[in-house]
Chain A
């Protein structure tokens, strides 16, 4: 059997679920009840076959008001997760309000953890990928990642670490038959603007 298929725009990865997938699946089953999301960075490469270690899975979440966050937070705690930053919504929401990342792991476990990255329209590159998701399916586990073209360029042009360049190489080669030049051009504009913004900071 081939490593993957593209069926009705859904990327189907032909493999069994790993412990890492099950962790993410468990977390998303709670998140999906409360918010939209996008899984980004290392898990995109790993879920599509890159064999490397990771401690955290990055997830983009639109910033939310305190009431909504409190319900989500309590549901995560009831669902068997703990938050690195604290046990009380009062304290944790100050991170959310400031758009600082927070992390959750399974109770009595340290790694892996989910790193929640809060976004709004002001974070243009993240907002773009969030609004142009690519669906991935592994067995009965379905989740959303950025357009592959965006993820590749983001790793090559913005992150640029050794690990990121290797992840980008994996994605470029693994999916070269389905990558779109047109999408690369569109994503390049967004990435270019992001680079300019970073230079100005």
Chain B
């Protein structure tokens, strides 16, 4: 991995990451692992939370309680 300067902020890390990503698509593998993991975790969390209940009813109740609906 190329590092021209020592990163200090999130924006510095983004710069380094994109410089490398542009040259080597292998870095996308890490991104896929993180995104896939997030979605699987979310699915599992809500399936357990609403287990045995009507999903849509519970989901709408959950969203309303958090001001998201």
Contact = CB atoms under 8 A, between A and B. Distances in A.
Given A16-B28, A18-B31, A18-B32, A53 B38 contact: yes
Contacts of B23: 2-3
Contacts of B6: none
B18 A174 contact: yes
Contact of A1 (B19, B25, B31, B40): B25
Contact residues of B: prevailing secondary structure: helix
Interface stretch (A62-70, A103-111, A124-132, A185-193): A103-111
Contacts, number: 93
A46 interface: yes
Given A3-B22, A19-B35, A108-B55, A49 B11 contact: no
Interface of B: 10-11, 14-15, 17-19, 21-25, 27-32, 34-36, 38-40, 42-43, 46-47, 55-56, 59-60, 62-63, 69
A160 interface: no
Nearest to A105: B59
Nearest to B46: A110
Quick one: which of A16, A166, A173 has the most chain B CB within 10 A?
A173
Nearest to A163: B10
Contact residues of A: prevailing secondary structure: loop
Contacts of A170: 14, 17-18
Is the interface on chain A under 10, 10 to 19, 20 to 34, or 35 or more residues? 20 to 34
Contacts of B32: 15-16, 18
Contacts of A120: none
Contacts of B28: 3, 13-16, 49
